[in-house]
Amino acid sequence: METNPDLLYLAPFQGITDYIFRSAFATHFGGLDAVFTPYLANSPGGKVNPRKLRDFLPQNNEAIKTIPQILSKDAVEMITMANEFSEMGYKVMNWNLGCPFPQVAKKMRGSGLLPHPDFIKKIMDEVIPAISIGLSVKTRVGYHEPDEIFKLMEVLNQYPIDEIIIHPRTGVQLYRGFAQPDDFEACIHRTSFPLAYNGDIFTPENFNSLKSRFPNIKRWMIGRGALRNPFLPYAIKYNSLLPEKERRTALENFSFGILEDSLARKQEITHILDHQKALWQYLSYTFDDRTSAFRRIRKVSTIEAFRPLLRGIIRNDALAGFIALTDTDPMNGIEVVEG
């Protein structure tokens, strides 16, 4: 089977793509080369809450290469987190300069830092000499305007950056409208660092179109497209779609693996069901009638009722193909917190 040599990354989503999800995805769906963790934040005073580190522990991330991500505007905090990751054996961490969520951006974190390149430079001047692991950056093209990234890249070009992952939307845009490849193209010749494209890859055709336009880009991040159809990375990597029976089996093993693992860790039932419903808001797109599938899942209030319902949906509802993002798609503009 011919394999696409480009690197495929899974984007992080707060509250969804924890280590249980990431391991299950890598095990049952494949196609990915690496996954990025939801961001670690709020580690004041040079200390990281041990409870927050569970998602990053090496023993919880053995199924696939994992890149820890941080959200911060404080150099001391970033150094502290880098030291924690270094002790765990990580070779690189990712700095989130892309999160558009207003509660994050208004605190001048995530994409809220993009209008302040001088402040970013001050942080980098302190952080880079003090850390022993590499640093990559995940960013949008700006917070207010798409050309804000040009000054950011001027700053980043002064330091040894591992890679820059660019989502060609602005922060204020959130997830409304569509990613703009023109804005990504404007960045290509402004740095010699490896670039990764991130944004609106929902179908193999989306990917192939972008690859034709940017043949020298070898790294791609898939977010909502992989959440709502987890067979997408495999289809891109191997130019093939698994037979229907294998897809249903993978979907069932993945879903129940997450459910049973969560139960085994004695998480609260309400939390487990809320997590499943958040997950199935996306996964319902794997079925022709996603509205019916999600409506039934959303109404369930007990684990005892959830198990047979979910199994019946996976085994019997008609599967859908890959669905591109459209103006009328409920996911166009949905408020998500991408790490």
Selection from 44, 228, 216, 71 nearest residue 138 by Cα: 71
What is the spatial distance between Cα 119 and Cα 335, in angstroms, rounded to a whole number? Answer: 28
**How many CB atoms sit inside 10 A of residue 183's CB?**
21
Per-residue pLDDT tens, the chain, 339 aa: give them: 678 999 999 999 998 999 999 999 999 999 999 999 999 997 666 678 888 899 999 999 999 999 999 999 999 999 999 999 999 999 999 999 999 999 999 999 999 999 999 999 999 999 999 999 999 999 999 999 999 999 999 999 999 999 999 999 999 998 888 999 999 999 999 999 999 999 999 999 999 999 999 999 999 999 999 999 999 999 999 999 999 999 999 999 999 999 999 898 877 889 899 999 999 999 999 999 999 999 999 999 999 999 999 999 999 999 999 998 887 776 665 555 454
* Residue 67, beta-bridge partner list: 36
Residues 6+ apart with CB under 8 A from 317: 287, 288, 289, 292, 293
If residue 219 lies in a helix (H) or strand (E), which one and from where to where?
Answer: strand 219-222
What is the spatial distance between Cα 55 and Cα 189, in angstroms, rounded to a whole number? Answer: 36
Q: What's the CATH fold of domain 37-199?
A: TIM Barrel (3.20.20)
Question: Which DSSP string do the residues of 261-294 spell out, in sequence order?
Answer: HHHHTT--HHHHHHHHHHHHHHHGGGBTTHHHHH
pTM above 0.75, yes or no: yes
For the chain, the structural domain boundaries read: 37-199, 244-316
